[in-house]
């Protein structure tokens, strides 16, 4: 009795039976009128009418019950499919999907369920990849630390200034990696705090370029800035500076010697727009789809020391989106440079 299709069957068959019963009961209780043909079946003797009525009641009961079961099964079958699929999802089988058919309401429910399953599957894959990536990233500096310290304990070499500096660099990498992961996790949890203040983004970009000038000068990369005035917005200056450091630093790393980087900024009715364009390695369409993923490196041969933690663009994306803005990457392919565009609302 707790099954939906059973309850629907009983209700539908009961309603049908009751309707037929009332209809023929009213007919059977009407006596023959003077102008009616007494040979009509409805003007037959009461005993015959009662017999026919009982036969019809049994027939209507059979038809009503059969129709009720069929209708109930049709109505409840999509819900049963959803219930079974939900049980599979609960067991961790996230590739389960339900058919999107039947009525509009059932289709909308099935679409919502399938989207939920896809989101869960995507989150599970991202979580597994994150654990694997973090383990992989932590393993190298920890292995270096362990190996060097073991060598010192075994008196293979003494802990001189050079070795101490090497160990110190590994600990800095670990701290930077942990801090970057914390930034991303806070952003994804909606807990990234922003201290919005009226900020001159022109000065912010200029200061960032000055700070990164030694890196560009080392590779003889020409950096050009095309400002637009005024360029003021209500943003978290510290975090937007971090976005600029990540984008311009990323451009410097991926631009060959004697290359060129152009930073453009403008303001319009929609907000503030910042573009970083380089003449570097460029990105394929597949790489563009993954460039903001955690630990992603377009240049697989680049080491952690020269390529960072692989979280810079992910953090930039998280900060921009926390401001209510958008960030995107464009490229015409390998060897044709890349362009990163940031759009920020006024706040």
pLDDT tens sequence across 11-68: 666 666 666 666 666 655 555 554 545 455 555 566 666 666 677 667 766 766 776 6
Residue 274 in this model has a pLDDT that exceeds 90: yes
Burial of 195 (0-12, 13-18, 19+ CB in 10 A): exposed
DSSP secondary structure letter of residue 323: T
- Please say whether the beta carbons of 232 and 268 come within 8 A: no
pLDDT digits (tens, 9 = 90+) for 172-190: 778 877 777 777 777 766 6
Bond prior to 73 in cis (omega within 30° of 0): no
pTM > 0.75: yes or no: no
Looking at domain 121-188, its CATH architecture is: Orthogonal Bundle (1.10)
Percent of the chain having pLDDT more than 70?
A: 71
Q: What is the SS3 assignment for 7? A: helix
What contacts 24+ positions apart, CB below 8 Å, involve 121-128?
A: 121/94, 121/95, 124/94
Confidence of residue 264 (pLDDT cuts 50, 70, 90): very high
Architecture of domain 197-344: 2-Layer Sandwich (3.30)
Strand-strand pairing, 222-226 and 197-200 = unpaired
Consecutive H or E run containing 222: strand 222-226
What are the domain boundaries of the chain? Answer: 4-93, 121-188, 197-344
């Amino acid at each position: 009795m707790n099954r939906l299709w059973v309850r629907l069957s009983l209700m539908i068959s009961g309603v049908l039976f009751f309707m037929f019963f009332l209809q023929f009961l009213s007919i059977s209780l009407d006596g023959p009128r003077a102008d009616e043909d007494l040979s009509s079946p409805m003007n037959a003797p009461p005993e015959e009418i009662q017999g026919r009525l009982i036969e019809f009641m049994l027939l209507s009961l059979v038809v009503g019950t059969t129709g009720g079961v069929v209708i109930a099964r049709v109505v409840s079958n999509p819900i049963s499919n959803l219930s079974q699929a939900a049980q599979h999802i609960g067991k961790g089988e996230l590739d389960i999907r339900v058919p999107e058919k039947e009525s509009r309401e059932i289709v909308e429910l099935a679409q919502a369920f399938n989207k939920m399953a896809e989101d869960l599957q995507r989150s599970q894959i991202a979580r597994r990849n994150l654990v694997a990536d973090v383990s992989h990233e932590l393993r190298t500096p920890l292995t270096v630390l362990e190996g060097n310290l073991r060598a010192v304990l075994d008196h293979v070499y003494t802990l001189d200034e050079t070795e101490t500096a090497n160990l110190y660099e590994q600990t800095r990498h670990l701290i930077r990696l942990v801090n970057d992961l914390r930034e991303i996790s806070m952003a994804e949890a909606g807990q990234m705090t922003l201290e919005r203040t009226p900020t001159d983004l022109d000065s912010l970009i200029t200061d960032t370029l000055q700070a990164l000038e030694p890196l560009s000068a080392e590779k003889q990369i020409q950096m050009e800035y095309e400002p637009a005035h005024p360029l003021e917005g209500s943003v978290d200056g510290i975090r937007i500076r971090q976005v600029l450091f990540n984008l311009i630093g990323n451009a410097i790393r991926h631009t060959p010697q004697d290359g060129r980087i152009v930073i453009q900024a403008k303001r319009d009715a929609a907000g503030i727009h910042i573009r970083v364009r380089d003449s570097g390695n460029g990105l394929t369409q597949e790489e563009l789809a993954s460039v903001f993923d955690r630990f992603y490196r377009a240049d697989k041969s680049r080491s952690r020391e020269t390529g960072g933690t692989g979280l810079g663009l992910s953090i930039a994306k998280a900060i921009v989106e926390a401001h209510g803005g958008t960030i995107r990457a464009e490229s015409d392919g390998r060897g044709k440079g890349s362009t990163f565009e940031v759009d920020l609302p006024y706040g």
